[in-house]
Amino acid sequence: TKKTMSREDLDALMRERDGLEAEAEAITSELEAPVPGGEPAGIRRPLVDGEGYPRADIDLWRVRTLRHRLACIQTDHKAVMRKIEQVLPLLLAPGAPTETLEEKSLERKSAETQEWPFAVVKSVKASSPADLAGLAAGDEVLRYGDVRSFDHVKQWTVDHVNESFPVIVRRASVARPMTLDVTPRAWHGDGLLGCHLLPINNNPSSSSS
């Protein structure tokens, strides 16, 4: 018998996602921390010096262990996000459990303002803050924090470094808009989020966040 998914199931998945993201952020911070006399170990930097010998300024076992754990987290995170995508349509289907007040409020605000997508996610870099938040290529952005205009996305991102805010997206595989918690921050790649957004209008400019 197929299990009926509930709001509690979704909440559990969200907590699992948040835990994985927090652990990934802690590991990334440790790997990117300054090393006396050398550059940070990083996530993909070589672990040998210029002469090909193992680096003596870092704990090689620790770095390899953290990198392996980070790779596992990324795999687990993608699996959790797939489950969330599967659960959401079931909860939003007719006869599904009643929505929370927060969800109803978001829906009502969306209907009142007649929100339309103003940007689309062109690409997301692996292990980036955007990737860990669950953003995916093809997502159409309905709301970015308090922003509903592509022109203000970059400034909002810069003004909210290390602060979590909701991003509402529309995804082809999900019946209704999804709300993702996004936290811009420094990471081992370019930008603060590691994703590339394109406007859905006649504006030829684009934004890398």
Q: Tens-of-pLDDT digits for all 209 residues of the chain? A: 345 566 777 788 888 888 888 898 889 889 988 888 778 888 888 888 888 899 888 999 999 999 999 989 988 988 888 888 777 766 665 555 444 444 455 554 544 445 688 999 999 998 899 988 889 999 999 999 988 889 999 999 999 998 888 899 988 877 778 888 899 998 888 899 999 999 987 444 456 66
Q: What is the pLDDT of residue 141?
A: 92
Q: What is the pLDDT of residue 101?
A: 43
Q: What is the pLDDT of residue 199?
A: 92
Nearest to 161 by CA among 198, 142, 179, 187: 187
One-letter identity of residue 61: W
CA distance 8 to 169: 22
| Per-residue tokens: 19 | 């835990």
CA distance 209 to 206: 10
CA distances from 119 to 72, 153, 159, 173, 201 (A): 31, 9, 19, 18, 8
Nearest to 170 by CA among 112, 126, 106, 127: 106
pTM exceeds 0.75 for this model: no
